[in-house]
Amino acid sequence: MSETPDTGSLAAEVRMLARERDAVIFAHNYQRPEVQDVADVVGDSLELARRAAASDASAIVLAGVRFMAETAKILAPEKTVLLPRLDAGCPMADMITAPQLAYWKAEHPGVPVVMYVNSSAEVKALTDVCCTSANAVAVVRSLGAPQVLFGPDRNLGRWIGSQLPEVEMILWDGCCPVHDAVTFERVAEAKDAHPDALVIAHPECLPEVSAAADAVLSTSQMLRLAAASDADEFIVVTEEGLLHGLKKAAPGKRFYPLAPSMVCPNMKRTRLEDVRDALLDDARAIVVPDEVADAARASLQRMTEIG
């Protein structure tokens, strides 16, 4: 990143405050470049969850969205977990509520429930096991069940079903608005413009988009593939924040964003100033009621152990 003097001094202040508070800074792969660069750990939801559970710091600053901070708090209940922007939510997570899940479960007695980590703490409390895009197939396979209730992302659920045809995926009708808006036609146009590029897509995309991709991967898996692949060009079908990490992981290679519109407004709410301000007091601390956290913890711990 090419830092301006203001960005550089602010980043230095953030690092100083983190040391003083005995805090670690976690950032999701979709965060602004300057936020990623100041973080101790940058990763996808699975990596951040595992690191939160293992951290020995007194505080965790989670530069991401609310469900990620809730996940960190559930897995590390003794730590202070700070969300720099309390208004950074996730539209997908809002597409299913705990009462809706309870009713859905009652309609399908005995069918195990797998919920994408992009869900509220209350929903996780009613879930058998959570998953991320990185380990979703492994999680469902581990159940050995003929049917699975899966939500809230129908596209990820369909992707799992395509990999495990022996499992009937009963899907909630939710989605990521950013990924769900990508069309097959737009991918075809990008392939025409860059015929030598590999298409890497996130499994939150529509089935026809995933089918058109050379690889369907989580964000961390995309980073690893870009670094290891012999290919020099990639069409990236996910939120544009990953481009920063891809360029660092594989310098010299070319990465083409699918469309300028692939921006998650919630992921982009967090600025360096917000990270600094979160470290200055506990006004942005995440609280998960004990009864919710205790019920949700088992589903998250199973998630971190699989895949």
Which of the following CATH numbers is that of domain 93-176+293-305: 3.40.50.300, 3.40.50.10800, 3.20.20.70, 3.20.20.140? 3.40.50.10800
Question: For residue 260, what pLDDT is reported?
Answer: 75
Question: For residue 1, what pLDDT is reported?
Answer: 41
pTM: 0.94
Task: Indicate the pairing of strand 80-82 with strand 147-151.
Answer: unpaired
Q: In what order do the strands lie in the sheet with 80-82?
A: 41-43, 23-28, 59-63, 80-82
Phi and psi based region of residue 160 (left: phi greater than 0; alpha: psi -120 to 50; beta: remaining): alpha
Strands (DSSP E) found in 117-232: 129-131, 147-151, 168-171, 198-201, 215-216
**Residue 116, both tokens:** 């994408």
Give the closest residue to 229 by CA, choosing from 203, 249, 244.
Answer: 249
Q: How far apart (Å, rounded) are the C-alpha atoms in residues 227 and 29?
A: 15
Within 10 A of 290 (CB to CB), how many other CB atoms are there? 9
* Structural domain boundaries in the chain: 5-89+267-287, 93-176+293-305, 178-257
The string over 191-208, giving b where at least 16 C-beta atoms fall within 10 Å of a residue's C-beta and e elsewhere, is: beeeeebbbbbbbbbbee
Q: Are 210 and 237 in contact (CB under 8 A)?
A: no
Q: Are 236 and 256 in contact (CB under 8 A)?
A: yes
Question: For residue 299, what pLDDT is reported?
Answer: 97
Q: How far apart (Å, rounded) are the C-alpha atoms in residues 41 and 202?
A: 21
Reading the chain (307 residues) residue by residue, the pLDDT tens digits are 444 548 889 999 999 999 999 999 999 999 999 999 999 999 999 899 999 999 999 999 999 999 999 999 999 999 999 999 999 999 999 999 999 999 999 999 999 999 999 999 999 999 999 999 999 999 999 999 999 999 999 999 999 999 999 999 999 999 999 999 999 999 999 999 999 999 999 999 999 999 999 999 999 999 999 999 999 999 999 999 999 999 999 999 999 998 777 999 999 999 999 999 999 989 999 999 999 999 999 999 999 999 7
Q: Are 136 and 216 in contact (CB under 8 A)?
A: no
Q: How far apart (Å, rounded) are the C-alpha atoms in residues 75 and 67?
A: 12
Q: How far apart (Å, rounded) are the C-alpha atoms in residues 242 and 239?
A: 6
**Residue 37, both tokens:** 């660069």
Question: For residue 7, what pLDDT is reported?
Answer: 84
Q: What are phi and psi of 153, to 5 degrees?
A: -95, 110
Do 178-257 and 5-89+267-287 have the same topology in CATH?
Answer: yes
Q: What is the CATH number of domain 5-89+267-287?
A: 3.40.50.10800
Give the closest residue to 160 by CA, choosing from 223, 94, 207.
Answer: 207
Helix/strand/coil for 1: coil
Within 10 A of 23 (CB to CB), how many other CB atoms are there? 21
Q: What is the CATH number of domain 178-257?
A: 3.40.50.10800
